[in-house]
Amino acid sequence: MLLRSLLFVPGDSQRKLARGPDSGADALILDLEDSVAPEHKPAAREQVAAFLADHPPGARTVPLWVRVNPVDTADCRLDLRAVLAGEPDGIVQPKPRTPADTRQLVAWLEEMRHPGAGIPILPLATETPGALFSLGGFAELASHLAGLTWGAEDLAAAIGALSNRDAAGQLTEPFRLARALCLFAAAAAEVPAIDAVYPDFRNSEGLRKDCEVSRRDGFSGRLAIHPQQVAIINQAYSPSEAEVAHARRVVELFDANPGAGTLALDGRMLDIPHLKQARRILLAVDE
């Protein structure tokens, strides 16, 4: 499943829901949580359920995910009951306090049975302070996960930070830590690491640079909050032609020398980590 760009779409906006499939995003996240005011949540559930019904799995041009409300709220089960009949392609889980909250979500999906069982989950794994101390536990739930992502906005509010970025637009130390821990937790679970939203949606150059750093560090995709971010994200997280060509040469070289642990290519020594990275690049292209 290719997930370079996942675009949030407010569940209570018929106009934005209708325009979402034309955004070019790899997936839409129909949002029932933070972008929907509490008094509008019942109506949003109905609209998202209707949108899923109007776009059944066989007729979708883009995967449709749903962000439900946290499991420690009554809204979560109401959300699941409303949307599961429409067979969403995945569930985005906000504010898990520990991996146990994701295990609870898995249990509810299995309890509600068809078509809920087996739907992949993408936890926003760092939105609560306590969650940072148990991220390694997501490895035990890897078979249920589409990846791991993180969030800086709710975390900033939770710890009382005045901002999560400095004057130059860079993440401050607490949030660089959260980002890194999410990346390592995803690697430990062997699932994709999806980077957080870049909130300044008008700053295209800032987004581009941030995505380049993000991909360099190991993230494979990003959450988006505005359609104009999608093309930049897709390009940033797609391997270049030069990267693909080099990856093919690396794989071909090792295939031609079975059993070799170290080989030379263009004056550089390559070993098994280089082969793994090359295969990861080619897998992203093949998807």
Give tens-digit pLDDT for 43-82: 999 999 999 999 999 999 999 999 999 999 999 999 999 9
- Checking if the pLDDT of 245 tops 90, the result is no
Residue whose structure tokens are 């589409």 = 146
State residue 251's pLDDT score.
Answer: 83
Percentage helix, strand, coil for the chain under 3-state DSSP, each rounded to 5: 50, 15, 35
Lowest mean pLDDT among 11-15, 211-215, 218-222, 238-242: 238-242
C-alpha span between 54 and 111 (Å, rounded): 25
Residue 38: both structure tokens together: 């509490």
**Taking the complete model, does pTM exceed 0.85, yes or no?**
yes
Helix ranges, 67-203 (H):
74-83, 99-111, 153-159, 173-189
Given a cut of 80, whether residue 89 has pLDDT beyond it is yes
**Tokens representing 85?**
């009949």
Residue 94 has pLDDT above 70, yes or no: yes
- pLDDT given for residue 32 in this prediction: 98
Domains of the chain: 5-236 (3.20.20.60), 241-286 (no CATH)
**Higher model confidence: residue 258 or residue 156?**
156
Judge whether 7 and 27 are in contact, CB under 8 Å.
yes
